[in-house]
Amino acid sequence: MHNFLQHVSSYYTLSMDAIKALQACFTKVELYKNDLLLKEGQVCTHLYFIEKGSLRGFYNIDGKETTYWFGFENDFVTSFHSYITQTAAVENIQAMEHTVLWSVAKASLTQLFNEHHEIERLVRIAYERYYIKLEERFVNAQFKTAAQKYNELLQHNPHILNRVPLGYVAAYLGITQETLSRIRAKL
Amino acid sequence: MHNFLQHVSSYYTLSMDAIKALQACFTKVELYKNDLLLKEGQVCTHLYFIEKGSLRGFYNIDGKETTYWFGFENDFVTSFHSYITQTAAVENIQAMEHTVLWSVAKASLTQLFNEHHEIERLVRIAYERYYIKLEERFVNAQFKTAAQKYNELLQHNPHILNRVPLGYVAAYLGITQETLSRIRAKL
DNA sequence: CGAGGCCTTGACCGCGGTCAATGCCCGTGG
DNA sequence: CCACGGGCATTGACCGCGGTCAAGGCCTCG
């Protein structure tokens, strides 16, 4: 729980009161390699925080598992579309190793928003940061070449390369594993 | 102002008190065709709401104006990255026709958040909707072919095609105008 | 009537995808 | 301790989608 509270304070400084309320609503979840946190078709009812370990999100695009997202320590995780709209998820979320999460039900979080303006503020601020990250990924996907995308990753998220097989990384960048391999060979 | 308040109520129902506070903080801005609402290098200090008209966002990518976003009636507009981080914008926002906006300074909105929990909630909910839309655009950019992207646009945003020159639409989809033209020719 | 904006069409080509073979590393069991 | 198998990565041959460059058609407006 310590990591979680520490990280949360990097978004917005909560009162002791709010911190206690938070603590009361989050429970620990543990996953092992290849366990699914969410399976497509399910409705995602929880928001998670990664205490330790790593996850990936992937679509099944005509039989292929296509990774589009990674989560590591101090990342929030959910199937955002499913969580917000409470409809069936189209993607899967899977542990890439032994992973420890803090979990909160959507109903609990909504209740926390009502009781503590500052918690809703914290989430509002978190949304802003996540939105900016997604914008960057969109721009990369739309306007950059394969090599440019790899170099961006090298500069801004090198930790991904240390913890994830290259097949996943390639899909994450929107290129094939073969192309990624050739790009890396030229350095 | 009526359109604005009406639209805002589709996110979250505000008290009369909050509505009055909102009204007091927004001022009208008028633009004419090709006027710039924001120029790259500037810091974006305001959030806008489109009452009437249309805007586009574009990057200058080696001398080319590359459109990546459109805004129409009832859309919120800002250079999100610049607005949130208060750093120089890398993109431009331009009116595509005579356009009427409602404008609020970041400082005023922050003040509104402090005074009215419900306004911060409304923005939190707006963020959720905009995040989901951006996710869709990311997935399209990353995983879909040119023809698939055009068909998605036809189904989900046909109004864009009626109001925007095809050159802008092509860039918005991440393809060239020539490719878009050939796709359309085959229908 | 001429100029310029917008769109289409054609010829060409290169980036990156597909398919398939091979290499490398490591864990497991004989 | 070595042999095998499977997961992961590399490499090569081929090709097609979509980009580039250039020309031409068709409006609208001055």
Per the CB < 8 A criterion, the answer to whether B46 and B52 are in contact is: no
B18 touches strand D (CB under 7 A): no
- The spacing between the Cα labelled CA in A170 and the C1' in D10, in angstroms, equals 14
- Interchain proximity A59–B143, CB inside 8 Å: yes
A181 touches strand C (CB under 7 A): no
- The spacing between the Cα labelled CA in A149 and the C1' in D13, in angstroms, equals 26
pLDDT tens-digit profile of A145-165?
999 999 999 999 999 999 999
Picking from A142, A143, A169, A172 by the largest number of B CB atoms within 10 A of its own CB, the best residue to mutate is A142
* Residue B61's pLDDT band (cuts 50, 70, 90): confident
Q: DSSP characters for B55-77?
A: EEEEEEETTEEEEEEEE-TT-EE
Whether residue A11 lies within 8 A of chain B, CB to CB, comes out as no
Tokens for A90, please give them: 């189209």
pLDDT of residue B187: 79
pLDDT tens-digit profile of A12-59?
999 999 999 999 999 999 999 999 999 999 999 999 999 999 999 999
B137 vs A131, A132, A138: nearest CB: A138
- Interchain proximity A124–B124, CB inside 8 Å: yes
Whether residue A141 lies within 8 A of chain B, CB to CB, comes out as yes
A135 vs B127, B132, B134: nearest CB: B134
pLDDT surpasses 90 at B1:
no
- Interchain proximity A80–B131, CB inside 8 Å: yes
Count of CB atoms within 10 A of residue A10's CB?
11
pLDDT surpasses 90 at B62:
no
The whole-chain average pLDDT of chain A stands at 96
Topology of domain B2-115, CATH: Jelly Rolls (2.60.120)
Chain C nucleotides with an atom closer than 7 Å to a protein C-beta: 5-11, 15-20
pLDDT surpasses 90 at A61:
no
Range A102-128 average pLDDT = 98
Q: What is the DSSP letter of A144?
A: -
Phi and psi at residue A75, to the nearest 5°: -95, 145
Minimum CA–CA partner of A135 in chain B: B134
Whether residue A61 lies within 8 A of chain B, CB to CB, comes out as yes
Chain B neighbors of A137, CB-CB under 8 A: 138
B159 touches strand C (CB under 7 A): no
A142 vs B80, B130, B141: nearest CB: B141
A138 vs B121, B132, B141: nearest CB: B141
pLDDT surpasses 90 at B3:
no
Per the CB < 8 A criterion, the answer to whether B75 and B28 are in contact is: no
Alpha-carbon distances of A41 from A79, B30, B153, B170, rounded to whole Å: 11, 46, 25, 33
Phi-psi region of A134 (alpha: psi -120 to 50; beta: other; left: phi over 0): alpha
B77 touches strand C (CB under 7 A): no
- Give the span between the Cα atoms of A77 and A80, in whole angstroms: 8
B95 touches strand D (CB under 7 A): no
Terminal-residue alpha carbon distance, chain B: 42
- Give the span between the Cα atoms of A157 and A173, in whole angstroms: 12
B143 vs A66, A81, A127: nearest CB: A66
Tokens for B71, please give them: 């805004």
- Interchain proximity B121–A113, CB inside 8 Å: yes
Phi-psi region of B34 (alpha: psi -120 to 50; beta: other; left: phi over 0): left
- Give the span between the Cα atoms of A91 and A82, in whole angstroms: 9
pLDDT surpasses 90 at B66:
yes
pLDDT of residue A63: 80
Angle at B129 between CA B80 and CA A83, to 5 degrees: 125
Q: Is the pTM of this model over 0.75?
A: yes
* R_g over Cα of chain B: 18
Chain D nucleotides with an atom closer than 7 Å to a protein C-beta: 7-13, 17-22
- Interchain proximity A143–B59, CB inside 8 Å: yes
